[in-house]
Structure 1
Amino acid sequence: MQENTDLESENTALYEHYNFIASIGQEPLRVDKFLMNFIENATRNKIQQAAKAGNILVNDIAVKQNHKVKPNDVVRVLLTHPPAENLLVAEDIPLDIVYEDDALIVVNKPAGMVVHPGHGNYSGTLVNGLIHHIENLPTNSNERPGLVHRIDKDTSGLLVVAKTEYALANLSKQFFDRTTERLYYALVWGNIDEDEGKIEGNIGRSLKNRLQMDVFPEGDFGKHAVTHYKVIDRFMYVTLVQCKLETGRTHQIRAHFKHIGHTLFNDERYGGNDILKGTTFTKYKQFVQNCFKTLPRQALHAKTLGFTHPTTGEFMRFNSEIPEDLLTCLEKWRNYTINSKEDF
């Protein structure tokens, strides 16, 4: 959770960048380690410097870096410059525009591009490029221009962005009502038994690693989430699946597939950058490492996006090509599978 609240300390303007509430299951943990788990791309040194400056507050009291955070503690981080959302700068960034009219724009986001500015990513984001391309984008409830939904930095694929207040409200409601169509391609570890299936389980912030999402028993914690999948191809030790989102939770596909024992290929945050399936042969390990180099990110692509146009009422469906890095990785696995079968 974040709030952008201006605060004054002596004659220096401080801005609230982060506001976290420790979960009920939080074990006592040093505040610097707690924030390292919460804030992506944060460094221990920066957090410790903020603590020394009195800019880390627990329950409205400035604390040292070794202060232990406990359940339900409110942890706030104050810094001397406004949050990135208040420092939006238009940048001439090339955008892969799939479709555009007066109401909306559909873009194909490359892997490696952050959708909106945040800690450690103050420039070069999709939003920076959008506000250069389009003037006066409407802002959502989080003050993020035009955004109706988002995908992770290292996930490639389609996003729809609203250009008017009405389009923003209309499209947001479609996502809330789950009337949109979203299909992803994912390469996951292991040979999935069924040709198709459904993964259902609440998704919430992990109690052990705050940068991960976890799946919890129904009604226990987190938010209801459903992912439908269908196997597209099998490559001995990995499986290519099509995922259809019924809900849209943070890291939904990544968390759901890890939960059923099929972590996304090369998903570093969830452990998919280890060799989880296969043989102990050195050549196999070298082959997988070569695949990791070819695809230096989680194997996830937002391939299809469908929604009803806010003004025309027409249902529109867009498809994107599988990006080169994922395509090359799939070809490597396809050739490996064919050659391995020929050896028997």
Structure 2
Amino acid sequence: MVSEFNLQVQANSERLDRYLTQELPDLSRSRIQQLIEQGNVQLNGTVCTSKKINVKVGDRIYLEIPEAQPLELQAEAIALDILYEDDQIIILNKPAGLVVHPAPGHPDGTLVNALLAHCPNLPGIGGVQRPGIVHRLDKDTTGAIAIAKTDIAYQHLQAQLQAKTARREYLGVVYGAPKTESGTIDLPIGRHRQDRKKMAVVPIEEGGRNAVTHWQIKERLGNYTLIHFQLETGRTHQIRVHSAKIGHPIVGDSVYGSGRSVGVNLPGQALHAWKLKLQHPISGNLIEVTAPPPPTFLKLLEVLRRRSAVSVVND
């Protein structure tokens, strides 16, 4: 069923997307922006696809929310490692090699395909190709990922991520030995100028978006270091780009690091979404889950500890 809203602006100099988000609190800002871009908003009788346009007193805004389109995606019986589940959300421990949602080159065999088999009511929540997905993990990054099972949960979880109240903590093994025990990397991230498949540190004025990563050393392993990362923002490839920028790329990262062998057959970068803390969208209770690192990550740590111990003895 199509939903329609007719609004008349009462205040000047307010961006269209911000105004609609305030007036329609049941819709997330990202959903509002999506509706604008798709031509579902009219300003004074004319379709408006610019989210940044300022509205003024007396402007008339018409918003139409179309019916959720049926998914063309197929449900696939792919095993899921479930860390938490109720009727609103599900939190999984994603393995390496599993793409989160369909994209060019990955039309099936994704986490979304697996979720459709596990949660039959998922279609239409949050978008046709990404039902229920409120944040993502790179294909070869493992660990905790939360998925909304209802519209209310989707909007609530997105709001937590935008307000930075949801907490995401990672474990990563990096090359080298940082001089300090902890730090913060505050460098904007945007699309790489030459290679559009990569991200890079890009000034705000050139299209970069604010990106902040906090880090603390958990264990020094000779010429390698186990680091605890905490995300304040969630840009694409954020930890990988920031780590490489400060001279300590993630081990096994062939895109942003050297990709040189460490003697362990890793399926990708040694980066694991370790802990996820969020507020339940209905009860308001704090949910905290810890995702056990995969065997390859633990094997890497074991090998590096052994090498480091031998190096200390030889010294």
Q: Structure 1 length normalisation: TM-score?
A: 0.69
Distance 1:297 1:195 in 2: 26
Q: Which residue of 2 aligns with 1:33?
A: none
For 1:304-315, list aligned pairs within 5 A: 304-315=275-286
Structure 1 residues 331 and 109: alpha-carbon distance in aligned structure 2, compared to 1, 3 A threshold: same
Q: Which residue of 2 aligns with 1:340?
A: 311
Q: Which residue of 2 aligns with 1:290?
A: 263
How much has 1:225 moved relative to structure 2? Answer: 0.4
1:109 to 70, 73, 94: 94
Q: Which residue of 2 aligns with 1:94?
A: 79
For the aligned residue pairs, the C-alpha RMSD in angstroms reads: 1.5
3-state SS, counterpart of residue 161 of structure 1: strand
3-state SS, counterpart of residue 263 of structure 2: helix
The one-letter code matched in structure 1 to 2:103 is G
* Residues 264 and 272, structure 1, Cα contact 8 Å, conserved in 2: no
The one-letter code matched in structure 2 to 1:304 is K
Deviating above 2 A after TM superposition, structure 1's stretches of 4 or more consecutive aligned residues are 216-221
Distance 1:290 1:261 in 2: 21
Distance 2:182 2:263 in 1: 29
Distance 2:303 2:149 in 1: 41
1:201 to 176, 187, 196: 187
3-state SS, counterpart of residue 113 of structure 2: helix
For 1:4-83, list aligned pairs within 5 A: none
Q: Which residue of 1 aligns with 2:111?
A: 126
* Residues 203 and 216, structure 1, Cα contact 8 Å, conserved in 2: yes
Distance 1:302 1:255 in 2: 16
3-state SS, counterpart of residue 311 of structure 2: helix
How much has 1:289 moved relative to structure 2? Answer: 4.3
Distance 1:256 1:142 in 2: 31
1:299 aligns with 2:284: no
For 1:150-299, list aligned pairs within 5 A: 150-217=136-203, 219-274=205-260, 288-291=261-264, 293=265, 295-299=266-270
2:133 to 132, 142, 147: 147
How much has 1:122 moved relative to structure 2? Answer: 1.4
Distance 1:195 1:142 in 2: 44
* Residues 278 and 287, structure 2, Cα contact 8 Å, conserved in 1: yes
The one-letter code matched in structure 1 to 2:86 is D
* Residues 191 and 238, structure 1, Cα contact 8 Å, conserved in 2: yes
3-state SS, counterpart of residue 104 of structure 2: coil
Deviations 1:1-48 (A, max 9, x none): xxxxxxxxxxxxxxxxxxxxxxxxxxxxxxxxxxxxxxxxxxxxxxxx
- The alignment covers a number of residue pairs equal to 245
How much has 1:186 moved relative to structure 2? Answer: 0.6
% identity of equivalent residues: 42
Q: Which residue of 1 aligns with 2:287?
A: 316
Which ranges in structure 1 are unaligned for 5 or more consecutive residues? 1-84, 275-287
Which ranges in structure 2 are unaligned for 5 or more consecutive residues? 1-69
